[in-house]
Amino acid sequence: MTQQIEIGTTTITPHQILAGDEPFIIDAANYHGLGTKPNFNVGRAGNVVFIDYDFTPISDGTMVLGKTPYKPHHRLMLPCPAWSTERDKDRVIQIDESGKVYLLNAKANYTYVGQVAYFTSL
């Protein structure tokens, strides 16, 4: 038997998300990828946007990672761990209202790799 989850007046199964008020099945056919750079990829499933990144800055400072056409509802600050056990090297990814994605105050020669997710309008 398939598990069902009630959200308000809508019932969904675990492999679905709500897109507006309608269930949206998460599978490869519903995932829309947008590869903008080899180390910066954007995908969307319903109204959830995923950004996959992998950067090693050559100098300290804020850098633009890329731009997503799926604009957030408001500007966002999301955690961005360094590929290191030194937690003081972790930084923040900022996504502004235009969809531009920044890595704030990056440290040279540290790799920042991961994924972030946020909601957008359909």
Does 62 map to a domain?
Answer: yes
Does 80 map to a domain?
Answer: yes
Token pair, residue 55, equals 């950067």
Domain containing residue 38: CATH number: 2.60.40.1830
Does 21 map to a domain?
Answer: no
Does 98 map to a domain?
Answer: yes
- The structural domain count of the chain equals 1
Token pair, residue 95, equals 């996504």
Q: Average pLDDT in the 75-80 region?
A: 94
Backbone phi and psi for residue 93, each to the nearest 5 degrees, phi listed first: -95, 135
For position 9, what pLDDT does the model report?
52
- Classify strands 100-106 and 91-95 as parallel, antiparallel or unpaired: antiparallel
Does 12 map to a domain?
Answer: no
Cβ distance 26 to 32 under 8 Å? no
Nearest to residue 36, comparing CAs of 44, 25, 26? 44
Token pair, residue 81, equals 């761990």
For position 29, what pLDDT does the model report?
47
| Domain housing 65 | 32-119
Q: What is the pLDDT of residues 12-59, one digit of tens each?
A: 444 444 445 554 444 544 444 555 556 888 888 888 889 888 889 899
Nearest to residue 43, comparing CAs of 73, 14, 17, 69? 69
Does 58 map to a domain?
Answer: yes
Q: What is the pLDDT of residues 87-104, one digit of tens each?
A: 998 999 999 999 999 999
Whether pLDDT at 1 is above 50:
no
Cβ distance 62 to 104 under 8 Å? yes
Does 27 map to a domain?
Answer: no
Compute the distance between CA of residue 106 and CA of residue 103 in angstroms, rounded to an integer. Answer: 6
Does 7 map to a domain?
Answer: no
Terminal Cα-to-Cα distance of the chain (whole angstroms): 31
